[in-house]
Amino acid sequence: MKVWRGGWGSPARTMQLGPGGPVPPAVVRLVGANVALYVLQLLTGSWLIVNFGLVPALVGDGELWRLFTYQFLHGGLVHLGLNMFMLWMFGSELERRWGASFFVKYYFVCSIGGGILFTLVRWDTWIPSIGASGGIYGILMAYALWFPDRRVFVWFLFPIKVRFLVIFLIVLETLQAIESTGTGVAHAAHLGGMGFGYAYLRWYGVGAGRLVPPRPQDLRRAWRRWKLRRLQRRRMGSGPTLH
């Protein structure tokens, strides 16, 4: 995703990839820990997943450490890369505003909260669940509360306000969790990460606003802007080709 800074029609608007500036220390350490554990996964095979992945049935038997350790394990390089990209993209700016201590606490609350909800929903499941998505979805939730009108380009193509993106993700994850499509994705952990994260911010009063759904006039305005930008691109593309 690309971050679009400034509003549409603003003379100072700029577009950049990522938050800009140096990566703050907590994000660096979290990314480093995830990468190091992934390398260890490659060296040890399935041992780490079997012993430290989130297995709800085993959590019910008292193996509570799994609620914490599962977040550092990943199912492949793409899985790891996407989660770490999102952590850098949205977590860096939050850490600069909150400080490293509160940011790390919040991140782990979201990760553990995602694990708790997944365990409650899949209480009798013996299949391990792994990944940092609970924490990442919590970071997305917080970013939408702090910067609701910040625009991002989803898959580098579709501009959308962060608050609308998060609302869409909440609806999508809820529907998929209800349907239990068998895609191998822990949708309940995603929802748990956002839910526990929102509650944590409300408890401490840290930027916990409301996610306001788009109004009809917002959708109409966005549609007109899209048509205008499309027309402008066509006109720019109608000139001579330079070699």
pLDDT of residue 12: 39
Query: For the chain, which domains are there?
Result: 2-214 (1.20.1540.10)
Residue 45, phi-psi category: left (phi > 0), alpha (psi -120 to 50), beta (remainder): left
Question: Mapped to the 3 state alphabet, what secondary structure does 17-60 carry?
Answer: CCCCCCCCHHHHHHHHHHHHHHHHHHHHCCHHHHHHCECHHHHH
Token pair listed for 170: 């909440």
Q: Over its length of 243 residues, how does the chain's per-residue pLDDT go in tens digits?
A: 444 443 333 333 455 566 777 899 999 999 999 999 999 999 998 899 999 999 999 998 999 999 999 999 998 999 999 899 989 989 999 999 899 999 999 999 999 999 999 999 888 889 899 999 899 999 988 988 888 777 776 665 667 777 777 777 777 766 665 555 444 567 788 888 989 998 898 887 665 444 444 455 555 665 566 566 556 655 554 333 223
pLDDT of residue 94: 92
pLDDT of residue 183: 45
pTM: predicted TM-score of the whole model, two decimal places = 0.75
Q: Give me the residue label for tokens 């001579």.
A: 240
Residues sharing a CB contact under 8 Å with residue 203, sequence separation 6 or more, in sequence order: none
* Strand duo 2-5 + 14-16: pairing: antiparallel
